[in-house]
Structure 1
Amino acid sequence: MKYVIMIHSNPQPWGHPTSNYLPDYQDMPPEQRERLNSEFEKMLGELHENGELLTGEALGAPESSRLYRWGDGKPLVTDGPYSEAKEHLAGFFLIDVDDHARAEEIAARFAGPGETVELRPTMWAGGPA
């Protein structure tokens, strides 16, 4: 089963890794930040080694995005990233796991100080992948 883990963040200024720009993360002692970073890198390595991590990408600054909506019988383009929101999609990871419980376990490990993580199953041809 494939799932997308989406990292939502509200850093100012925009940058990656997003945690470096979040007050909750910046307020931590340096040794705690180093431990969290090390644990995260170790987790990514383990997921890659066991074939569960398919890919991951950071996304560019939210103000560089454009929205395309249908209106007046044609596509209308506006600045993005999406409707009035403070948090923006900062990046994603695509995982392939045996079941939903494993996806939940992994997604919980992605949640860091000041960040919101969304887990969503993928779909192909109108049904679950």
Structure 2
Amino acid sequence: MKYVILIHSNPQPWGHPTGDYVAEVQAMPQEQRDTLNRDFDTLLSELQANGELAGGEALGDPADARLYRWSGGDSVVTDGPYSEAKEHLAGFFLIDVQSRERAEEVAAQFAGPGETVELRPGWSGDDG
């Protein structure tokens, strides 16, 4: 079962890893930040070693995003991302796991201070 883990963040200024730019992480003692980074690296290594990590990528500065919408029979482009939102999509990971329970277990480990993680199943095209 494939799932995408979407990392939503609100770093100011923009940069990666997002935790380095999030106020909640910046307020932590360095030792605690180092532990968070080590734990995340361990998680990624585990997912790679057992074949559950199908891919992932950090995304560029949201100021460089463009939105394309259908309006009046034509495609209209505007600057993005979603300017009305405080958070933006900072990156994603694609996992391929045996169950929703495993996907939820993994996604919970991606949720860091100052970030929101969305777990969304892939769509296979099957209705049932």
Q: What TM-score results when the alignment is normalised by the length of structure 1?
A: 0.95
Q: In the TM superposition, what is the alpha-carbon distance from 1:83 to its structure 2 partner?
A: 5.1
Where do 5+ consecutive residues of structure 2 fail to align?
A: none
Where do 5+ consecutive residues of structure 1 fail to align?
A: none
User: How many residues are matched?
Assistant: 127
Query: What letter corresponds to residue 115 of structure 1 in structure 2?
Result: E
Q: In the TM superposition, what is the alpha-carbon distance from 1:23 to its structure 2 partner?
A: 0.8
Q: Is 1:2 matched up with 2:28?
A: no
Structure 1 residues 81 and 109: alpha-carbon distance in aligned structure 2, compared to 1, 3 A threshold? same
Instruction: Quote the residue 1:69 is aligned against.
Output: 69
Instruction: Quote the residue 1:92 is aligned against.
Output: 92
Once superposed, which parts of structure 1, at least 4 consecutive aligned residues long, lie more than 6 Å away?
none
Instruction: Quote the residue 1:54 is aligned against.
Output: 54
Q: Is 1:39 matched up with 2:39?
A: yes
TM-superposition CA deviations, 1:77-109 (whole Å, max 9, x none): 111112510100000000000000000000000
DSSP 3-state at the match of 1:91: strand
Q: Distance in 2 between matches of 1:83 and 1:127?
A: 34
Identity of aligned residues (%): 68
Alignment RMSD (CA, Å): 1.1
> 1:18-37 residue pairs with structure 2 within 5 A?
18-37=18-37
Q: Which moved more, 1:82-91 or 1:25-34?
A: 82-91
Q: Distance in 1 between matches of 2:84 and 2:36?
A: 31
